[in-house]
Structure 1
């Protein structure tokens, strides 16, 4: 397929899947419950953190999380204290458990009280063409409080060759304004041009079939290769093609 043909093919799939109907089957529905910027950020960050495994389970546990937080994520985080956590029902999603969750509440509280919020931390370390180093620095800030070493595994580090799929997905949600009402576009200090595709088994397999990606592992090096290919198709909004790759893989079994 020629580059122009590939672009037309993928643009058509973006138009199909970057649509409000996408929300009802995707974890992005959880932050769509809210209108306050900080509520959207925190709900999005937490549900992106648990976004691996069965999608129905992710969505169900995302709703459970919001209920635990009284459906006011920002207010809950800012007033969270482990002294008052005994009344909260136990939470487990695969290997993410109560101990991890309570640290995430404390770390988010610290980010908002002492670092200006989630957007401020990512934009502080954003580079002109990539957010991958910013994710690394965000992780350092997030884990600056005393914590169990095991909890660190729930935020990936691109500088350790991780594709950081879940956090790149969260960043897509916050930064990209798609005019269709799926992604939020509430972060104005970061450009969609800086985003990276949330690389997973579905998008990776489709990208290889379309010769957008040659590397076999879904790691940081593969992400850099895919980013390069997608930026050639649309340098201003390369991550819109996540909808095409994901839709082709999950819904069309391409």
Structure 2
């Protein structure tokens, strides 16, 4: 396919998957339960944090996270006492456990009280053309409280070579407009043009088959290469093609 044919092909796939039916089997359904901005942000961030492995397991465990917070994530984050964190101790999703969960709650409280929330950090620290340096800055702020070293692996750092798939997915959810009732468009201070594709095994394999990506590893360098290819197709909203790449890989076994 030439560039024009490739764009037409992918645009059709975006239209196929960027609609409310996408929510039925995707973790983004968790924040869609909420209506308050802060509840959406926090539930989305926590859901994205555990978004690796079996998607049914991700969704079930994300629902469990919300239940442990009384289905009021912002209220729990802001008003919890140390004793309230004991209820989180049994939680486990793969290598993310109750201790990690407790630290995330304490850090989020610090972020909403001292850094104008998640939106404040990402909006104030954004670079000119990419949010990858911003994610690295976010990680430093996220771990400014005393922490266990093991917990740091649950927040990726692009400046240390990570593709940061889960945080890039969270940012897509927050920044892209809500016109198709999938993403939320909650953070108007960030342009969708700065977003990066949540690069995983599915989107990476499809991107390579379509010659959008040559690098074999799914790392920060591969993400930069894929960003460059997708921005040529749509400079203003390159990450809409996440729906196409993911849908082709997961649903169509492309």
Indicate the SS of the match to 1:243: helix
Partner Cα separation in structure 2 for residue 193 and residue 24 of structure 1 = 27
Alignment correspondent of 1:197: 197
Alignment correspondent of 1:83: 83
> Aligned runs of 1:202-241 on 2, under 5 Å?
202-241=202-241
Paired residues, number: 254
Contact preservation (8 Å) 1:42, 1:74 = yes
The root-mean-square deviation of aligned C-alpha atoms, in Å, is 0.8
Contact preservation (8 Å) 1:129, 1:194 = yes
Task: Give 1:128 deviation, angstroms.
Answer: 1.9
Could you tell me the TM-score, scaled by structure 1's length?
A: 0.99
Q: Which one is further off, 189-198 or 84-93?
A: 84-93
Indicate the SS of the match to 1:6: helix
Whether 2:172 is the aligned partner of 1:172: answer: yes
Task: Give 1:82 deviation, angstroms.
Answer: 2.0
Alignment correspondent of 1:106: 106
Task: Give 1:81 deviation, angstroms.
Answer: 2.3
Alignment correspondent of 2:41: 41
1:140-170 CA distances to partner (integer Å, 9 max, x unpaired)?
Answer: 0000000000000000000001000000000
Task: Give 1:222 deviation, angstroms.
Answer: 0.1
Indicate the SS of the match to 1:180: coil
Partner Cα separation in structure 2 for residue 109 and residue 19 of structure 1 = 33
Contact preservation (8 Å) 2:89, 2:97 = no
Alignment correspondent of 2:50: 50
Alignment correspondent of 1:31: 31
1:48-94 CA distances to partner (integer Å, 9 max, x unpaired)?
Answer: 00000000000000110111111110000001222333344610000
Partner Cα separation in structure 1 for residue 195 and residue 88 of structure 2 = 36
Indicate the SS of the match to 1:22: helix
Q: Which consecutive segments of 4 or more residues in structure 1 shift more than 6 A? A: none
Q: Which one is further off, 145-154 or 176-185?
A: 176-185
Could you tell me the TM-score, scaled by structure 2's length?
A: 0.99
Task: Give structure 1 stretches of 5+ with no counterpart.
Answer: none
Contact preservation (8 Å) 1:27, 1:59 = yes
Alignment correspondent of 2:141: 141
Shift in alpha-carbon separation, 1:89–1:145, aligned structure 2, 3 A: closer
Partner Cα separation in structure 2 for residue 138 and residue 88 of structure 1 = 24
Shift in alpha-carbon separation, 1:206–1:242, aligned structure 2, 3 A: same
Alignment correspondent of 2:6: 6
Contact preservation (8 Å) 1:68, 1:89 = no
Partner Cα separation in structure 1 for residue 84 and residue 112 of structure 2 = 20
Whether 2:70 is the aligned partner of 1:70: answer: yes
